[in-house]
Amino acid sequence: MLQVRKSADRGDANHGWLHSKHTFSFADYRDPEHTGFGPLLVINEDRVAPGQGFGTHGHRDMEIISYVLDGALEHKDSMGTGSVLHYGDVQRMSAGSGVRHSEFNGSRSEPVHFLQIWIEPNVRGIAPSYEEKHFAPETKQGKLRLIASNDGRDGSVLIHQDAAIFAAILGGGDKASHALAPGRTGYVHVIRGEVTVNGIALGGGDALKLTGEAAIELAQATDAEVLVFDLPY
């Protein structure tokens, strides 16, 4: 079964300093038909104004992944970790038994644009931890590049869930595919550009849920960047 989630149907929250698009129910946005997909609970597309950001706040028992698209995202947390993320950087924070952190736009003149992804872990109460990796554009060009997994294989960040996230930059005649094992579901989020997924044309901000499919097939792409999730039921 294929189910499309159009960009225009996402939740929209504009706070002035923050403009966020919510794929799933989040904060004041509530949609009983879109409360997550398996352990994938949040995909927020955030744009933060220069010099603004999220003040110190807490999380517990959640895998939080930041995928920076443009600008500079400054991170600080109660583990003593601090860094500034740019395009191609992927950050994973396992909140575990509890962590406090802040996220700010590291520029005084340019906005920062990033995706924040929350995945429910399959273990609870673990010690909080942090990881950051850079994935250069050429490693994603014309193919699916593993960026997060449950064992950190192939240089991906490690997440505490039986899930995998791939990123790809596709254009021209590029095609990419990913087999889904029995009992697995797929989720494709189009970051930008246009691409056909299992025969369905999608644009920036669109997404596709795949249930009972044998594979995820991406083709007919134009300046596309996508995330592909392999998830348990």
pLDDT at 82 exceeding the cut of 80: no
- The backbone torsions φ and ψ at residue 155, rounded to the nearest 5 degrees and listed phi first, read 80, 15
How many Cβ atoms from other residues are within 10 Å of residue 126's Cβ? 13
215 in the same domain as 178: yes
| Distance in angstroms (rounded) separating the CA atoms of residues 6 and 30 | 16
For residues 126 and 15, state if they share a domain.
yes
Q: Same domain for 196 and 227?
A: yes
What would the pLDDT profile of 160-206 be if each residue is shown by its tens digit? 999 999 999 999 889 999 999 999 999 999 999 999 999 999 999 99
Query: How many distinct structural domains can be found in the chain?
Result: 2
What's 110's domain CATH number?
A: 2.60.120.10
Task: Tell me which of 135, 155, 184 is where a domain ends.
Answer: 135
State the chain's maximal CA–CA distance in angstroms.
Answer: 49
* Distance in angstroms (rounded) separating the CA atoms of residues 78 and 57: 10
69-84 burial code (b ≥16 CB/10 A, e <16) = bebbbbbebeeebeee
45, 21 Cβ separation under 8 angstroms: yes
Q: Decide which of 109 and 228 is more confident.
A: 228
Q: How many CA atoms lie within 13 A of 173 on its CB side?
A: 0
Domain boundary among 106, 135, 164: 135
70 in the same domain as 29 = yes
Give a yes or no: residue 1 inside a domain: no
Dihedral sign from CA coordinates of 43, 69, 13, 104: positive
Beta bridge partners of 185: 211, 231
**Residue 95: pLDDT above 80?**
yes
Q: Does position 138 have pLDDT exceeding 80, yes or no? A: yes
Mean pLDDT of the residues in the chain: 94
Does 15 share its domain with 34? yes
Does 5 reside within a domain? no
Based on the fold, state whether residues 125 and 174 are members of the same structural domain: no
pTM reported for the whole predicted model = 0.95
Choosing from 111, 135, 159, the residue where a domain stops is 135
State which residues form the domain around 120: 10-135
Residues 208 and 194 in one domain: yes
Q: Are residues 79 and 56 in the same domain?
A: yes
Does one domain contain both 41 and 118?
yes
Residue 83: inside a domain: yes
Residues 149 and 90 in one domain: no
In a domain, 4, yes or no: no
Does residue 79 have a pLDDT over 80?
Answer: no
Give CA–CA dist 160/144, Å, rounded: 21
Tokens of 107: 């520029």
Instruction: Please report, rounded to a whole number, the percentage of residues in the chain having pLDDT higher than 70.
Output: 100
Residue 9 is predicted with a pLDDT of 96
Q: Is residue 21 part of a domain?
A: yes
Helix (H) or strand (E) holding 143: none
